[in-house]
């Protein structure tokens, strides 16, 4: 098992954000994490990266607990995180942003830059431009490219399709599939459930800090509760997951 979360509980002060999450990602898999706003998807990724400390439970990478690894060492262990909102360094150029991705290991920079530019030719055109001046889609490409520069085994992608035009979303999802086909495991947080489930092997549905559903992507795609709550389809009265209107409109738009 590449990544394993066992009964992970996280809280912000008095507010509990994750209430005992169990989740695994195997080498080479794409696993998607679905759920409404505030369900705990971003919290899950930030906890894996060590930016948040779990109050209970354990996170293991290759079977080894991460609790004693300082967060900045995680990238050396092969985990790269493209965070929510892209978080591009605004006054660094595209090139400098990409170099930040290779901060811990400079050996293959030239080769890896070429690899990123092959995936996202747009970034090459913008190479000396400040990160903060890029469009949303370009910033997302840069965030993914920056994560790739560390040669990860596991990529954590937090809502890469957020706020992007449908055409750009398609490019992004194609690239995620391609990166995965080169052997990189992906844990993909998405509100765009339909697209995410199409490229994923498995999925989890989070609701108020619990995993309420999990299974192979094809099964989730066919599940009535998922279809109603996250794919915006009317399948009649169903108990279970609360529909989330923001998700529904977002999915319909694209």
Question: Site residues (CB under 8 A) for another protein?
Answer: 49-51, 70-76, 80-81, 83, 87, 89-93, 96, 99-101, 103-104, 130, 146, 150
Burial class (CB in 10 A: 0-12, 13-18, 19+), 208: middle
Phi-psi region of 228 (alpha: psi -120 to 50; beta: other; left: phi over 0): alpha
Which CB sits closer to another protein, 146 or 202?
Answer: 146
Q: How far apart are CA 220 and CA 223, in angstroms?
A: 5
Which CB sits closer to another protein, 121 or 132?
Answer: 132
- Give SS3 for 128: coil
CB atoms within 10 A of CB 52: 20
CB atoms within 10 A of CB 247: 21
Least distance in Å: CB of 43 to another protein? 13
Supply the angle between the helices 136-148 and 166-181 in degrees, to the nearest 10: 10
Least distance in Å: CB of 248 to another protein? 30
Least distance in Å: CB of 90 to another protein? 6
Least distance in Å: CB of 252 to another protein? 32
Which CB sits closer to another protein, 143 or 231?
Answer: 143
Least distance in Å: CB of 85 to another protein? 10
CB atoms within 10 A of CB 233: 13
Least distance in Å: CB of 60 to another protein? 19
Helix, strand, coil distribution of the chain in percent, nearest 5: 40, 25, 35
Which CB sits closer to another protein, 153 or 202?
Answer: 153
Q: Are 245 and 252 in contact (CB under 8 A)?
A: no
Which CB sits closer to another protein, 158 or 207?
Answer: 158
Which CB sits closer to another protein, 86 or 202?
Answer: 86
Tokens standing for residue 242: 């609360």
- Give SS3 for 86: coil
């Amino acid at each position: 098992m590449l990544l394993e979360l066992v009964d992970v509980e996280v809280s912000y002060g008095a507010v509990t954000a994750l209430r005992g999450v169990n989740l695994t990602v195997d080498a080479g898999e794409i696993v998607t994490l679905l759920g409404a706003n505030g369900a705990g998807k971003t919290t899950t990724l930030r906890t894996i990266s060590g930016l948040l400390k779990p109050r209970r439970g354990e996170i293991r990478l290759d079977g080894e607990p991460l609790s004693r690894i300082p967060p900045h060492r995680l990238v050396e262990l092969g985990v790269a995180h493209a965070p929510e909102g892209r978080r591009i360094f605004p006054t660094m150029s595209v090139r400098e942003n990409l170099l930040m991705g290779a901060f811990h290991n400079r050996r293959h920079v030239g080769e890896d830059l070429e690899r990123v530019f092959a995936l996202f030719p747009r970034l090459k055109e913008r190479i000396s431009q400040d990160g903060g001046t890029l469009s949303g889609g370009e910033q997302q490409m840069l965030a993914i490219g920056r994560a790739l520069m560390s040669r990860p085994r596991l990529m954590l992608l937090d809502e890469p399709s957020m706020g992007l035009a449908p055409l750009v979303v398609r490019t992004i999802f194609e690239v995620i599939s391609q990166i995965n086909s080169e052997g990189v495991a992906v844990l993909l947080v998405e509100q765009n459930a339909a697209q995410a489930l199409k490229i994923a092997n498995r999925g989890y549905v989070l609701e108020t800090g619990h995993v309420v559903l999990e299974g192979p992507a094809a099964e989730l795609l066919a599940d009535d509760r998922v279809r109603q709550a996250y794919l915006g389809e009317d399948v009649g009265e169903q108990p279970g997951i609360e529909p989330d209107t923001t998700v529904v409109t977002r999915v319909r738009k694209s």
